[in-house]
Chain A
Amino acid sequence: MGELFDAVAIALKAGIGFQAIFFALLAIGINLQFGYTGLLNFGQIAFAMLGGFGIAVSVTQWGLNFWVGVVIGLLAAVVLALLLGLPTLRLRADYLAIATIAAAEGLRLVFRSVSATEITGGTRGLAAFNRDFVALAPWETSKRYSILGTSWSGAELWVALVGWTIVALSCLLVWALVRSPWGRVVKSVREDEDAVRALGKNVYVYKMQALVLGGVFGAIGGMFYAVGTGSAIPDQYQNANTFLAYAAVILGGAARVLGPVVGAVLLLFLIQFADTLLRTLISNGVIPEGLLTATDVAAIRFVLVGLGLMLLLVFRPQGIFGDRREVMLDAR
Chain B
Amino acid sequence: MLLVLAFGLGLAAFTPGVAQAQGEAVTGTLQTSRSGPIEGIEVVVESTDGERIDAVESDEDGRWSVDLPGPGEYVVSINADDLPEGVTLSGEESRTVTVAEGRRQPVNLGLEDGSRGAGGGGVRAVQLLVDGLRFGLLIAMCAVGLSLIFGTTGLTNFAHGELVTIGAVVAWYINVEGGISLIPAALLAMVVGMGVGALNELGIWRPLRRRGTGLVAALVVSIGLSLTLRYAIQIVYGGRSNPYVQYQSQRAVDYGLFNLTNRALFSIIISVVVLVLVALMLQRTKIGKAMRAVADNRDLAASSGIDVNRVIMVVWMMGAGLAALGGVLLGLSDQVQWDMGFRLLLLMFAGVTLGGLGTAYGALVGSLVVGIFVQMSTLVIPDDMKYVGGLLLLIVILVIRPQGILGSRARIG
Contacts and interface: CB of A to CB of B under 8 A. Distances in A.
Given A87-B402, A94-B156, A101-B346, A106 B224 contact: no
A246 to B, nearest CB: 7
A84 B391 CA distance: 12
User: Interface of chain A, helix or strand or loop or mixed?
Assistant: helix
A40 B224 contact: no
A176 interface: no
Interface stretch (B28-36, B84-92, B133-141, B392-400): B392-400
A99 B399 CA distance: 11
A165 interface: no
A295 to B, nearest CB: 8
B156 A299 contact: no
Nearest to B343: A105
Interface string A308-320: 1110011001000
B217 interface: yes
A309 B220 contact: yes
Nearest to A330: B214
Given A102-B350, A314-B213, A314-B221, A306 B391 contact: no
Contacts of A246: 220, 223
B227 A329 contact: no
Contacts of A103: 391, 395
A87 B388 CA distance: 18
B371 to A, nearest CB: 16
Contact of B353 (A93, A98, A300): A98
Interface in A205-259: 240, 243, 246-247, 250
Contacts of B99: none
Given A97-B156, A246-B223, A308-B224, A329 B216 contact: yes
B232 A313 contact: no
Contacts of A313: 213, 217, 220-221, 224
Interface in B318-369: 343, 346, 349-350, 353
Contacts of B96: none
B221 A307 contact: no
Interface stretch (B7-15, B109-117, B288-296, B379-387): B379-387
B231 A302 contact: yes
Given A307-B224, A329-B214, A98 B349 contact: yes
B399 A86 contact: yes
A309 B398 contact: no
Contacts of A295: 239
A93 B346 contact: no
A329 B217 CA distance: 5
A113 to B, nearest CB: 5
A38 B216 CA distance: 9
A99 B353 CA distance: 10
A109 B412 contact: no
B384 A331 contact: no
A83 B394 CA distance: 13
B217 A310 contact: no
Nearest to B382: A115
A317 B217 contact: yes
Nearest to B220: A313
Contacts of B226: 306
Contacts of B214: 328-331
Given A240-B227, A299-B235, A329-B216, A95 B384 contact: no
A99 B385 contact: no
Contacts of A83: 395
Interface string A100-117: 011101100110011100
A40 B216 contact: yes
Interface in B145-189: 156, 158
Contact of A40 (B219, B230, B350, B411): B219
B413 interface: yes
Contact of A305 (B213, B227, B229): B227
B395 A299 contact: no
A317 B220 CA distance: 11
B384 A102 contact: no
Interface of A: 38, 40, 42, 83-84, 86-88, 90-95, 97-99, 101-103, 105-106, 109-110, 113-115, 240, 243, 246-247, 250, 292, 295-296, 299-300, 302-303, 305-310, 313-314, 317, 328-332
Given A299-B232, A303-B227, A306-B230, 11 more contacts: A94-B219, A299-B231, A303-B235, A306-B226, A306-B227, A309-B221, A314-B208, A317-B217, A329-B216, A330-B216, A331-B215
